[in-house]
Amino acid sequence: MIAGVAEDEEKWLSAGIAGLQQNAFFMHRALDSNNLKDALKYSAQMLSELRTSRLSPHKYYELYMRAFDELRKLEIFFKEEANRGCSIVELYELVQHAGNILPRLYLLCTVGSVYIRSKEAPAKDVLKDLIEMCRGIQHPVRGLFLRSYLSQVSRDKLPDIGSEYEGDADTAMDAVEFVLQNFTEMNKLWVRMQHQGPAREKEKREKERSELRDLVGKNLHVLGQIEGVDLDMYRETVLPRVLEQVVNCKDEIAQYYLMDCVIQVFPDEYHLQTLETLLGACPQLQPSVDIKMVLARLMERLSNYAASSAEVLPIFFQVEAFAKLNNAIGKVIEAQDDMPIYGAVTLYASLLTFTLHVHPDRLDYVDQILGACVKKLSGKGKLDDSKATKQIVALLSAPLEKYKDIDTALKLSNYPQVMEYLDIGTNKEMSNVIIQSILKNRTCISTAEKVEALFELIKGLIKDINENLQDELDEDDFEEEQNSVARLIQMLYTDDTEEMMKIIHTVRKHIMTGGPKRLPFTVPPFTFSALKLVRRLQSQNKNVSGEEVAATPKDIFQILMQTIEALSSVPVPELALRLYLQCAEAANDCDLEPVAYEFFTQAYILYEEEISDSKAQVTSIHLIIGTLQRMHVFGVENRDTLTHKATGYSSKLLKKPDQCRAVYACSHLFWLDENNDMKDGERVMLCLKRALRIANAAQQMANATRGSSGSVVLFIEILNKYLYFYEKGVLQVTVDSILSMIELIKQETSGENTTPDPATDAFFASTLRYIQFQKDKGGVVAEKYKPIKTEFA
Binding status of residue 629 toward another protein by CB under 8 A: yes
Binding status of residue 727 toward another protein by CB under 8 A: yes
Distance CA 68, CA 56 (A): 18
Binding status of residue 769 toward another protein by CB under 8 A: yes
DSSP 45-61: HHHHGGG-SSS-HHHHH
455, 478, 770 from 435: Cα distances, Å: 10, 15, 54
Site string for another protein, 442-481 (x = CB under 8 A): x------------------------------------xx-
Binding status of residue 508 toward another protein by CB under 8 A: no
Distance CA 382, CA 423 (A): 5
Least distance (Å) between residue 428 CB and another protein: 18
DSSP 268-280: HHHHHHTHHHHHH
Q: Which of 351, 721, 742, 788 binds another protein (CB under 8 A)?
A: 721
Whether the Cβ atoms of residue 372 and residue 326 lie closer than 8 Å to each other: yes
Window contacting another protein (CB under 8 A); options: 347-355, 416-424, 720-728, 747-755: 720-728
Q: Which of 298, 665, 688, 698 binds another protein (CB under 8 A)?
A: 665
Give how many residues touch another protein by CB under 8 A: 51
- Ranges of H-type helices in 155-274: 173-194, 202-225, 231-233, 239-248, 252-265, 268-273
Q: Which of 340, 516, 626, 751 binds another protein (CB under 8 A)?
A: 626
From first CA to last CA, the distance across the chain in angstroms is 111
Distance CA 758, CA 742 (A): 18
Distance CA 140, CA 186 (A): 8
What's the number of CA atoms in the CB half-sphere (13 Å) around residue 255? 22
Binding status of residue 668 toward another protein by CB under 8 A: yes
Q: Which of 773, 782, 786, 789 binds another protein (CB under 8 A)?
A: 773
Least distance (Å) between residue 629 CB and another protein: 5
Binding status of residue 488 toward another protein by CB under 8 A: yes
Q: Which of 630, 632, 644, 786 binds another protein (CB under 8 A)?
A: 630
Least distance (Å) between residue 773 CB and another protein: 4
Binding status of residue 720 toward another protein by CB under 8 A: yes
Q: How many helices (H) and strands (E) would you count in the chain?
A: 39, 0
Q: Which of 762, 783, 786, 789 binds another protein (CB under 8 A)?
A: 762
* Sequence-separated (6 or more) residues with CB below 8 Å from residue 471: 424, 464, 478
Whether the Cβ atoms of residue 60 and residue 54 lie closer than 8 Å to each other: no
Q: Residues 291 to 320: which contact another protein by CB under 8 A?
A: none
Q: Which of 151, 763, 775, 785 binds another protein (CB under 8 A)?
A: 763
Beta bridge partners of 762: none
Angle at 578 between CA 573 and CA 581, to 5 degrees: 120
Distance CA 725, CA 737 (A): 12
Distance CA 543, CA 783 (A): 48
Least distance (Å) between residue 243 CB and another protein: 53
Binding status of residue 111 toward another protein by CB under 8 A: no
Least distance (Å) between residue 665 CB and another protein: 4
Q: Between 363-377 and 341-358, two packed helices, what is the crossing angle to 10 degrees? A: 180
Nearer to another protein, 174 or 717 (CB): 717
- Burial (CB count within 10 angstroms: exposed 0-12, middle 13-18, buried 19+), residue 784: middle
549, 765, 773 from 716: Cα distances, Å: 54, 10, 17
Whether the Cβ atoms of residue 184 and residue 245 lie closer than 8 Å to each other: yes
Least distance (Å) between residue 445 CB and another protein: 12
Q: Which of 586, 592, 611, 631 binds another protein (CB under 8 A)?
A: 586
Nearer to another protein, 56 or 441 (CB): 441
Binding status of residue 524 toward another protein by CB under 8 A: yes
Binding status of residue 622 toward another protein by CB under 8 A: yes
Window contacting another protein (CB under 8 A); options: 118-126, 137-145, 354-362, 584-592: 584-592
Q: Residues 412 to 441: which contact another protein by CB under 8 A?
A: 439
Q: Which of 400, 716, 741, 742 binds another protein (CB under 8 A)?
A: 716
Whether the Cβ atoms of residue 170 and residue 186 lie closer than 8 Å to each other: no
Binding status of residue 623 toward another protein by CB under 8 A: yes
Q: Residues 527 to 566: which contact another protein by CB under 8 A?
A: 528, 531-532, 535
Least distance (Å) between residue 148 CB and another protein: 59
What's the number of CA atoms in the CB half-sphere (13 Å) around residue 183? 27
Nearer to another protein, 141 or 576 (CB): 576
- Ranges of H-type helices in 381-474: 386-403, 406-410, 415-420, 424-441, 448-457, 459-462
Least distance (Å) between residue 545 CB and another protein: 21
Amino acid code (one letter) for 585: E
Q: Which of 12, 26, 68, 770 binds another protein (CB under 8 A)?
A: 770
Residues that bind another protein (CB under 8 A): 439, 442, 479-480, 483-484, 486-491, 521, 524-525, 528, 531-532, 535, 578, 582, 585-586, 589, 615, 619, 622-623, 625-627, 629-630, 665, 668, 713, 716-717, 720-721, 724, 727, 759, 762-763, 765-767, 769-770, 773
